[in-house]
Structure 1
Amino acid sequence: MKEKLYRRGWNEADVSLHTPARAERGKSLRGYHNEEKERAKKGRIPLFFATDDNYLPFLSLTLESILENSSREYEYEIYVLHSGLREDFMAKILRYSRAGFTLSFVDVTERLKGIAHRLHIRDYYTCTTYFRMFIAEMFPLYDKAIYLDCDTVVLGDISELYAYELGDNLLAGAPCEGVNSFEVYKRYVAELGGLDPDYFFNAGVLLLNLKAFREENFYGQFADLLEKYKFKVIQDEDYLNVLCQDRVLRLPRAWNKTPVAPDILPREDLRIVHYLMTWKPWRYSDIPYQEYFWEYAKKTEFYGYIKKMFDGASKADMEKDKLVEKNLKALAEKEIAREDGYFKVYGKRYGKIG
């Protein structure tokens, strides 16, 4: 099976280089690991994103900020996972592709077919939030990679994130400010999942140990847990935290700083700003760190489109956001009260990898 891949300068024959199918034709994963080491020596860093049309315009800000702030000593290989996107949007994003900063679109629709009916999707989320689960199996040539959400602005050098040594950890992530800023979500994490809220990481900025993911059959264990239990509140983030518990390298909050937490860091202390949940500067004019969003939005071809979204934001849109927040907290309370909740039925260690 081949995933559809769009990339400047690539032809159809090249696509198979980036699918597990090639390994099945006789090239071992050991060979891929050796290739990855050689690529690392050359200073190549893989970055992954997952998006739909709604968030693709904001990816331009992330790419713009990476280009401006990251070391030129490395080459960046960027992959955008999707299940169908507007051609005109993709064309604009592909203009960021250049020497040392290559960009590819990978259609994962076929990958979704086996599990899509089991995925729980709420409010403004789509299946794209689960795409990061496929990276290790789809890209066996990489042993380590960065994953970023598209609603991020990178103010630091992204190569410094890649430089963290993962050891035996499955991934590195920063504490989730969206959880720790609200008592109901802290109770949800502790009581439903049996996890420590202080160590519950946000999945929007991750350094992934792809080699360990494959060795531990991460995708198979995710599919098994998905079959047994549906997390409805924080969705893919719930699964990642349960599966990876005790094997997570904790990143400084500067690598995933959000407008949700009350403490405001100066620019020199920030590495990545993440506009998560309903804290969106393209809808509101009072969002902490919004100045960085607009600084980079103005440098992209999507600025007019994004500014129009901001100007067109209505009171009804804002009321909808309030309803989303209210309903999510109510859902968290409902899940906490379940007699068949995850922790009550399975205990702390069920689903944990290793």
Structure 2
Amino acid sequence: MMNILFSLDENYVYPLKVLIQSLVDTHPDDTFCMYLLHAGISDETLEDLNRFVERTDNKLVPIHSKNFFHDSDKVAITRYYTLEMYLWMFAPYLLPEEVDRILYLDPDVLCINDIKEFYNKDFLGHSFVATNYKYKTKWVQPFNNLRLRNFESDDYFNAGVVLMNLKKLRRVGDPYSIIEAIRENKPVLILPDQDIFNLVYVNDILEEDWRFFNMNPKVFEKLKILFPKKYNYAKVDREVVFIHFSGKHKPWDEREKYRYALGKYFFDVEKRVYPYYLESSEI
């Protein structure tokens, strides 16, 4: 059984079901224990989600985590960035002790190939395995270093797909150092959880290849124009494990107006999750 971690509010339950279905579809012979950290998803929604997961012969473990924090922590929360976006980093202190490794996935991620190669990665002494969009961040790296005051770092890792070494984090980590980093850097946070992830765990993240484990639809559009023989649907079908629909453009919001070709993978899985909803919306 593989351990999967989600951290979200009620607004992201819709794409979460699509993500879960994509995991199930690509792993017919495997099972998952899915931990959901949240700060107030309704009982009705959780019951519906649990029924959905049980139909796939997998297990959902919701963990209400709001009480983990105190008012004095002053965790940075805004209209657009909720408490749930931080919760995944506190997994070592919220999950059962026997869970020693877990794969965190943002709800706007889709799985299209087997995850076991990534899930079973050797941490090589690190606390995390994640991907780094160097092509995208190299121009803003000096700004990130100045903004976050981590001048020794040459990297800025994406927090949408993160393999976590919980065994090591429980031994060397400290939840209060995360809270303190959030509190101290609140004015300069742009992508809050990602900023904190890169700030607190600098030099403790092992890099993996984003082209396989965190493919960005916007970047794929450019790559398939520049290198059509190398970047095409056949390559995606064969090699890409995770597509990450990051940014403000979401296929489930924009529908036919969604501008990126990789949206078709989301819509294909969505039809298996919400057939009645989609049929009624077309009338």
Counterparts of 1:298 and 1:99 in 2: how far apart (Å)? 16
User: What does residue 218 of structure 2 align with?
Assistant: 260
Deviation string 1:250-296 (CA, Å, 9 cap, x unpaired) is: 11111111123232443222110111111211224212310011011
User: What does residue 79 of structure 1 align with?
Assistant: 35
Give the 5 Å matches for 1:1-354: 44-70=1-27, 72=29, 74-94=30-50, 95-97=52-54, 101-114=58-71, 117-121=74-78, 124-139=80-95, 140-176=97-133, 180=136, 183=139, 185-193=140-148, 194=150, 199-230=155-186, 231-253=188-210, 254-261=212-219, 262-264=222-224, 265=231, 266-267=235-236, 268-282=238-252, 283=254, 284-301=257-274, 304=277
Counterparts of 1:176 and 1:124 in 2: how far apart (Å)? 23
SS of the residue corresponding to residue 190 of structure 1 reads helix
SS of the residue corresponding to residue 229 of structure 1 reads helix
Q: TM-score, normalised by structure 2?
A: 0.82
SS of the residue corresponding to residue 180 of structure 2 reads helix
Deviation string 1:75-114 (CA, Å, 9 cap, x unpaired) is: 3110111112244433332222257521122111211335
CA contact (8 A) 1:175 1:200 kept: yes
**Cα offset for 1:190?**
3.4
AA of the residue aligned to 1:260: K
CA contact (8 A) 1:180 1:198 kept: no
Between structure 1 and structure 2, the one with the greater Rg is 1
CA contact (8 A) 2:102 2:165 kept: yes
Q: Superposition RMSD on alpha carbons, in Å?
A: 2.7
Q: TM-score, normalised by structure 1?
A: 0.67
Q: Which runs of no fewer than 5 residues in structure 1 stay unpaired?
A: 1-43, 312-354
Distance 1:197 1:277, change over 3 A: farther
- Range 271-280 or range 96-105, more displaced: 96-105
Distance 1:97 1:112, change over 3 A: farther
Counterparts of 2:168 and 2:119 in 1: how far apart (Å)? 16
| Number of residue pairs matched by the alignment | 262
Counterparts of 1:87 and 1:305 in 2: how far apart (Å)? 25
User: What does residue 227 of structure 2 align with?
Assistant: none
SS of the residue corresponding to residue 223 of structure 2 reads coil
Distance 1:93 1:290, change over 3 A: same
**Cα offset for 1:120?**
4.2
Distance 1:302 1:235, change over 3 A: farther
AA of the residue aligned to 1:297: E
Distance 1:302 1:206, change over 3 A: farther
